[in-house]
Amino acid sequence: MDTREWLKRLFKSHREIKQDLGVRRFQISHFSGLGDNEVITALTFSSPDGEYVQNSNITDKSGRIAIMYKTFADSENMELLREMVRQYEKQKRELDAFERCIKLLEPRLSEVITDMVINRMPWDELQSKYQVSRATLKRYRKKAVDDICKMFEFEKVALNWP
Do residues 68 and 47 touch, judged by C-beta distance below 8 A?
Answer: no
At residue 56 the predicted structure's pLDDT band, cuts being 50, 70 and 90, is low
Predicted local distance difference test score (pLDDT) of residue 89: 92
Predicted local distance difference test score (pLDDT) of residue 31: 83
pTM of the model: 0.71
pLDDT tens figures, 110-161? 999 999 999 999 999 999 999 999 999 999 999 999 999 988 877 665 555 5
DSSP the chain: --HHHHHHHHHHHHHHHHHHHHHHHHHHHT-----HHHHHHHHHTSPP-S-SS--SSS--HHHHHHHHHHHHHHHHHHHHHHHHHHHHHHHHHHHHHHHHHHHHS-HHHHHHHIIIIIS---HHHHHHHHT--HHHHHHHHHHHHHHHHHHHHHHHHHHT--
pLDDT tens figures, 60-92? 666 666 677 777 778 888 898 999 999 999 899
